[in-house]
Amino acid sequence: MPDGIDVQVEDPVVEDSQAEEAVDFFGLLFIEKQELLDRLSELGYGEEGRLVYDTNFADTSQVTAERGEVEALVQKLQDGLDQVEEALGKLEKGNYGVCESCGGRIGVARLEANPAARLCINCASAAKS
Ligand SMILES: [Zn+2]
């Protein structure tokens, strides 16, 4: 029996970290990213989120009004895409799942529901109110 070595005492209740390892967040984020890109391209926006059929549109006021709505949606999708990219970057750096506000862990259940979440549930609900 070796004595005096740093013995790592395993906490018997490590369900949370085990669950986190079991979840393929890379996969979840890639699916999320693909869905966002698909929706953007359905709206006529290309990979970089730029309007690709711009010149085919007549410049009527109706089109302009519709485009306003589309652009609001596109903005939302692009924001989502930015968050997904950011989360992927964090996964690579190893600081994924850390709340940007309080530095605490974001719950696994929350990350599974929203893999690009930047805030823990407490900070997110505090930010909303
Ligand atoms: Zn937090």
What is the whole-number distance in angstroms between the Cα of residue 122 and the centre of ligand 1? Answer: 6
The reply to whether 7 falls in a domain is: no
From its phi and psi, is residue 21 left (phi > 0), alpha (psi between -120 and 50) or beta? Answer: alpha
Is the Cβ–Cβ distance between 98 and 111 less than 8 Å? no
Residues 37-71, buried b or exposed e (16+ Cβ, 10 A)?
bebbeebbbeeebebeeeeeeeeeeeeeeebeeee
C-alpha closest to that of 96 among 2, 14, 4, 29? 29
Domain region containing 62 = 20-51+58-128
What is the whole-number distance in angstroms between the Cα of residue 126 and the centre of ligand 1? Answer: 9
Q: What is the pLDDT of residue 14?
A: 47
Q: What is the pLDDT of residue 32?
A: 95
CA angle, residues 53, 45, 110, in degrees to nearest 5: 170
Contacts of 46 (CB under 8 A, 6+ apart): 40, 52
What is the whole-number distance in angstroms between the Cα of residue 106 and the centre of ligand 1? Answer: 7
Q: Which residue has the higher pLDDT, 23 or 12?
A: 23
For residue 8, pLDDT beyond 80: no
The reply to whether 6 falls in a domain is: no
The reply to whether 14 falls in a domain is: no
For residue 123, pLDDT beyond 90: yes
- Mean pLDDT (whole number) for 75-102: 95
Q: How many domains does the chain have?
A: 1
List the CATH number of the domain containing 124.
1.20.120.910
The reply to whether 83 falls in a domain is: yes
